[in-house]
Amino acid sequence: MNHQFSVAIGPVGFRIGSDWRAPIAQLETLYRAYPKPTDGVPDFTVRLFAARPWRRVLRPSVMIGGDFVLPEAAPLPLAQGLLAAEMGMNLQMALGQRRYLLLHASVVERDGEALMMTGVSGAGKSTLAALLSLRGWRLMGDEFALLDPETGQLHAFPRLVSLKNTSIATVAAEAPADRFGPLLEGTPKGTIRHFVPDAHAIATMIQPARPALILFPSFGFEPAARDVAPSEVFVRLTQASTNYVALGERGFDALTKLVTSVPARAIDYPDTASAIAQVEAAWAAR
């Protein structure tokens, strides 16, 4: 393809090809501190292309392709090309990842132990992970937790943190401006702004960590906390996994081991300060 970019995010390498220069230039800027895929061979290919040749220039719109595709995926305007690239990479992971059990969760680490946060979209897992990474935690990822069935460890996948709508201002209030990507307005998920993980998170991204606590945060409620039974954690995590079925027995064994060995809590929070305090309290009591 005319323009391309390669990057390693945690243990996974990507190659992104594009009919346009603009999305590639943005990726080069935002992922500048990241290494290249191991041995120069990426695990997955993403393609950003025009549905018809003239759509490269006339009302350019970006189709998302790659090794794995969703047949009905709608194209995005070229101004949202960066988002298309990120969606393409997520799609390869969601549909193609077979080494790790993929859990839709954010992960931060402290003292070699990992805190996993999962929940419905809007629960605040990306925002919380970004905020915790500004308070001494290592950011391991805001979207996917990679559980290694062989070792039971979590691998980092610290792609750009995808901040949406009001959480953009929340994080921007605490972080330097040069760690943000362009403001993407009017996307299918509202307003999006990408947040670049800190240098430490990138430098240590190949180090896995032992899962020590699973949290189910919910934003918009009075502060509350409860334990979550392993059986409930199991069911919620199968729903939060895109490849649980595809992994077969390995997936079942890995998940069973995770939920029976790691405590889980649900926390409700009305604001940032309350969320951080509750996370710290749950972490101390794990």
Partner 1 sequence: MMRRAPDGWLLARALRLPESTLALDAQGWTALLAIARAEQMLGTLAWRLDGVAVPPNVGRILEDAWRSVEQGRVVALWEAEAARRALAPIDERVVLLKGTAFVAADLLAGQGRSIGDLDILVPRASLDTIEAALLDAGWEWVKPDPYDDAYYRQWMHELPPLIHRDRDRMIDVHHTILPLTARITPNAAALLADAGEVAPGLWALSPEDMVVHAAAHLFADGDLAGGMRNLWDVHCLVEQDGVAGLAERAAMHGLNREVARALRLAAALYGDGAGSRLVDRLYLRRVTARDGWGRTTRPVTRMAFYIRSHWLRMPPAMLARHLWTKWRKGGAGPASG
Site residues for partner 1 per CB under 8 A: 1, 13, 15, 17, 37-43, 45, 47, 49, 63, 65-67, 69, 98-99, 246-248, 250
Give the span between the Cα atoms of 104 and 231, in whole angstroms: 18
Pick 21 or 98: Cβ nearer partner 1:
98
Measured from the CB of residue 5, what is the shortest distance to partner 1 in angstroms? 13
Instruction: Name the β-bridge partners of 110.
Output: 113
Pick 61 or 162: Cβ nearer partner 1:
61
Pick 40 or 136: Cβ nearer partner 1:
40
Measured from the CB of residue 67, what is the shortest distance to partner 1 in angstroms? 5
Measured from the CB of residue 15, what is the shortest distance to partner 1 in angstroms? 6
Instruction: Name the β-bridge partners of 4.
Output: 17
Pick 90 or 272: Cβ nearer partner 1:
90
Measured from the CB of residue 101, what is the shortest distance to partner 1 in angstroms? 12
Measured from the CB of residue 119, what is the shortest distance to partner 1 in angstroms? 26
Pick 89 or 264: Cβ nearer partner 1:
89
Pick 67 or 198: Cβ nearer partner 1:
67
Q: At 147, which amino acid appears? A: L
Measured from the CB of residue 6, what is the shortest distance to partner 1 in angstroms? 9
Token representation of residue 169: 């201002």
